[in-house]
Chains A and B, each alone.
Chain A
Amino acid sequence: MLAYARTRVLLTLPVLLGVSLLTFMILHLIPGDPARMLLGDMGGGSAAGDVSDEAYENLREELGLNDPLPVQYANYLTSALQGDFGRSFQTNRPVRESIAEVLPYTVQLTVVGLGLAVLIGGLLGVIAALHRNTWVDSATMAVSLVGLAMPSFWLGFILIQVFSLRLAWLPSTGSGDLTTLILPAATLGLVASGVVARLVRSTMLEVLRQEYVTTARAKGLGERIVIVRHALRNALIPVVTIVGLQFGALLAGAVIVETVFARRGLGRLAVESILRRDYPMVQATILVAAVGYVLVNLLVDLSYAWLDPRIKYS
């Protein structure tokens, strides 16, 4: 088990290196110039500003943008390995500080969102499986399909319209107390619950056909115990897998949800940095997201053994 974990951790290193190289290359391949974005951008409305070539060249030199690309990447990598992600082109603050500030908000959002997705999705899935081929099944699966198909920005606006503007129960924006967490987490969770519901339904149906379930029923166990203790626990293994994968989707969803609800977070920071071509910030935010994704999936792999004692790592 320990050996397995060690191998898995070591294997993440090339993955992260690949992510950093890919991010770096994409950033430098797409057009757009950080120096231009910094020096007033010719159309933010500034007609009076006509930046001199001297100022422009100075800035590029200062930002290290005139070095050859391999040199820039090597510089970035050496500092990053020492935990230094540089300073933001835009704010001139250390990137690490900015990320440390917003990261808790995104963790909070995705964890609560994921919890809601599993709760709602699991419940819908079990209900659908138990009422297979009835109207209840069709109705719950239709709901999950809507969840799957619904873009999170749209759902976000609907929730704002209903709960903030019509009913005035919850604030539409912000990132302060728990009340500001409810709508964004619900948006994220509802959208992700669709996948979970469909998966739980199909694995439940499969498990319910197994002989040990028939055995459990034959023993005279109550239906509730059969479902919860025998069926659900075994049906959860594929769900744990999908939860690991869904975590990536939730991180992606956070990008949109954080923007819609004007909420602090890693996703919004990444988007704004991309639009302004703030290279150090983009590289670091994407790397942090990648680390999170890799870690969650590592935990998922390790949890199989705990969920299913038959699984052995070698």
Chain B
Amino acid sequence: MMSTRRPDGTIELLAGGFLSRRGLLRVGGGTMAAAAGLPLLTGEGMAAALQGDPQPGGDLTFGLSADPPNLDPHIDSGAAASTIKQLVYGTMVRYWLGGELQPNLADSWEISDDGLEYTFALHPGVTFHDGAPFTAEDVKASIERMQDGAVGATLQVEMSLIEEVVAEDELTVRLRLGQPNPAMIEYLAQPDAAIMSKAFLDAGTDPNTTMVGTGPFTFVSREPGVRTELARNEGYFREGLPYLDRIIFVPYTDENTRVSALLGGEIDVADYVPWKDMQTVEDDPNLKLALGQEAAFMCVIYNVEEPPFDNPLVRSALSYAYDRQAIVDAVFFGRGSTITGGLIPTSSWAHNAELDGTYPYDPARAQELLAEAGFADGFSVTLLSTSQYGMHQSSAEIAQQNLQAIGIDCQLELFDWSTVVQRQTEGSYQFRIHGLSPELVDPDFLTNFFASGSAFSRSSNFADEEIDRLLAEGRTTLDEAARKEIYLQLERRLLELSPWSFLSWREQGEGLKEEIQGYEHLPGSTGFKSAVTLEQAWRPS
């Protein structure tokens, strides 16, 4: 009963849909459990989905926090850019309302018992916006493009885990991996893993100037810095969708300006509502907030080769020193939660509740540990952060005060973001504040942060054999209970070594006009992919 063509995706999900698919149950089991642990379609989500009959037609103006610098779907240039790309391009699978995976261009998939072979049955009758039929050759061409070093695809490393792509027939694709990877299916759900048309790629058109995808909306025009216009794809494979005639994206890089435009009714939706303005949006009778928990987190990353942070005891001591609640309250206006244990979010099946409370706010304990490490009189350090993003700077200022309170002389270095990126890539800093999102629902997201050789580990000189071993084991183990045990050990080890201090989760939200129906904020870190739900958004005429 894979009725993906039904216009109302929510109903189909409630009926179970692809839950019985063998492959997903086995390897994607974690994902499904994660989804089940979330408030799947409760309250407002359900109400919106079932409220009245959707009315087709109408335009929507969407205020974006950034103007997409490029249109190439394989090159990530931030959440704002991917909002547009997600609507024009399609991926094999996608995240849907509960944060779970939903079939998209692939109707179903099977994964071999050794976890190495993925066979996808593609959705028949899908066409690209230029009328070309979607076939297995397009999948092959897209994956091979992402693997090509010259393209600079964001998922190049991940896609290179695929050793072979075989187009078995028009509508069947088989992927062969070098080693099992439970996150593979999620990589294919990332907006950066968009399927492009082989004919389009072969024609040599610059994918930066136009977009030809399979998504619910087609690319109409773009004036850089001013607007990007999309129109309804009349040939969208989910019949009856989308409802809106047009979506006009207008960049509002200044957050206050974006909120003003929303409050003044000039735009229908605004992304990245600043935390300070969330209450105002909620209180406005004409507006509502689409909100998600645990979307992204703030952390401190230590350069573990720089004294005194080469001593794990010092890093551990500092983990007690940060007043995490103060950060949640002052930086995020209470719209977040502290992280006193591991990083795997509470909504995940792999969350390690027993680790919560490992690092409470305990300045006395911090001083004790510092004394034990031989720094009873403190030391002088410099904290790197950016003045370009308010939440980074404010978090850094609170951390600075916290450290000064336990006798550490902490100086702040505030630069623009570009400078910070360079400094961290070169490793020329002592410690830094960072805001990140796990991106993946599967706990394997930890590999991107902590595996030796990952960009984050290289830039902080962190490498630990035990961590690498556990990460690899977590990847290759298919049994969920066994995996949970592995991730418990892993996070325990992480907290012990404290290469990072985890500070707090933050909420993420879009503000929209009360009358707009059907738009949903996806839970957790999938919240940054909420734009997919614009395909079922509508407004009363």
Known A42-B425, A173-B261: A48·B419 in contact at CB below 8 Å: no
Is B95 among interface residues, defined by CB-CB distance under 8 A?
Answer: no
Interface 1/0 per residue, A269-308 and B, CB below 8 Å: 1001011110000000000000000000000000000000
Contact of A46 among B76, B223, B415 (CB under 8 A): B76
User: Among the listed A43, A52, A55, A261, which residue makes an inter-chain contact with B436, where contact means beta carbons less than 8 Å apart?
Assistant: A43
In contact, A91 and B76 (Cβ under 8 angstroms):
no
- How far is A165 from B260 in the complex, measured between Cα atoms in Å? 7
Q: Which of A31-39, A69-77, A215-223, A235-243 contacts B (4 or more CB under 8 A)?
A: A31-39
Q: Is B416 an interface residue (CB 8 A)?
A: yes
Taking each of B190, B223, B256, which has the highest tally of chain A beta carbons within 10 Å of its own beta carbon?
A: B256
* Chain A residues within 8 Å of B449, by CB: 47
Does A98 sit at the interface, judged by CB under 8 A? Answer: yes
Kindly state whether residue A104 has any CB partner on chain B within 8 Å. Answer: no
Asked if B266 and A59 make an inter-chain contact with CB atoms under 8 angstroms apart, the answer reads no
Among B79-136, those with CB < 8 Å from A are: 79
**A173 in complex: contacting residue of B266, B417, B440, CB < 8 Å:** B266
Interface string of B249-290 (1 = CB under 8 A from A): 011111011101101101000000000000000000000000
Scan A52-95; emit 1 where CB is below 8 A from any B CB, else 0: 10111011000000000000000000000000000000111100
Do A171 and B149 touch (CB < 8 A)? no
Known: A36-B422, A55-B156. A160 touches B260 (CB 8 A): yes
Residue in B150, B261, B296, B454 whose CB lies within 8 Å of A50 = B454
The one of A49, A171, A275 that contacts B388, using a Cβ cutoff of 8 Å: A275
A37:B421 contact, CB within 8 angstroms: yes
**Contact residues in B for A23 (Cβ distance below 8 Å):** none
CA distance A90 to B260 in the complex (A): 28
> Are A45 and B436 in contact, with the CB atoms below 8 A?
yes
Contact between B418 and A37, CB atoms less than 8 A apart: yes
With an 8 A cutoff between CB atoms, is B501 at the interface? no
Given contacts A43-B436, A48-B155, A174-B266, contact A261 B79 (CB under 8 A): no
A102 is an interface residue with CB less than 8 A from chain B:
yes
A153, chain B: closest CB distance, angstroms: 9
Q: How far is the CB of A44 from the nearest CB of chain B, in Å?
A: 4
Of the listed residues A30, A32, A33, A277, the one surrounded by the most CB atoms of chain B closer than 10 A to its CB is A32
A44 touches B152 (CB 8 A): no
Closest chain-A Cβ to B3's Cβ sits at a distance in Å of: 30
157-205 of chain A: CB within 8 A of chain B: 157, 160-161, 164-165, 168, 171-175
**Contact indicator B254/A259 (Cβ below 8 Å):** yes
**Residue of B149, B187, B260 most packed against chain A (CB within 10 A):** B260
Whether the pair B421, A33 counts as a contact (CB closer than 8 A) is yes
User: Across the interface, which residues of A come within 8 angstroms of B435, CB to CB?
Assistant: 43, 45
Q: Is B260 within 8 A of A46, CB to CB?
A: no
Q: Across the two chains, which residue of chain B brings its CB closest to A49?
A: B154
Beta-carbon contacts under 8 Å, B437-483 to A: 437-440, 445, 448-449, 454-456, 459
Closest B residue to A174 by beta carbon equals B266
Residues of chain B with a CB closer than 8 A to A47's CB = 436-440, 445, 448-449, 456
Tell me whether A48 and B190 are in contact (CB under 8 A): yes
Q: Say yes or no: B264 contacts A164, CB within 8 Å.
A: yes
Q: Is B39 an interface residue (CB 8 A)?
A: no
Instruction: Enumerate 12 A-B pairs (CB-CB under 8 Å) in ascending A order.
Output: A33-B418, A36-B425, A43-B436, A47-B439, A47-B456, A50-B157, A50-B158, A52-B149, A160-B264, A165-B264, A268-B225, A269-B225
Known: A55-B151, A101-B223. 13 other contacts (CB 8 A): A31-B422, A32-B418, A33-B418, A51-B152, A52-B157, A58-B150, A91-B208, A93-B224, A174-B266, A259-B253, A262-B258, A264-B225, A272-B67
When A and B form their complex, which 10 residue pairs have the shortest distance between CB atoms, in order from nearest?
A: A32-B418, A49-B154, A55-B152, A54-B149, A44-B78, A90-B69, A40-B76, A47-B448, A31-B419, A45-B437
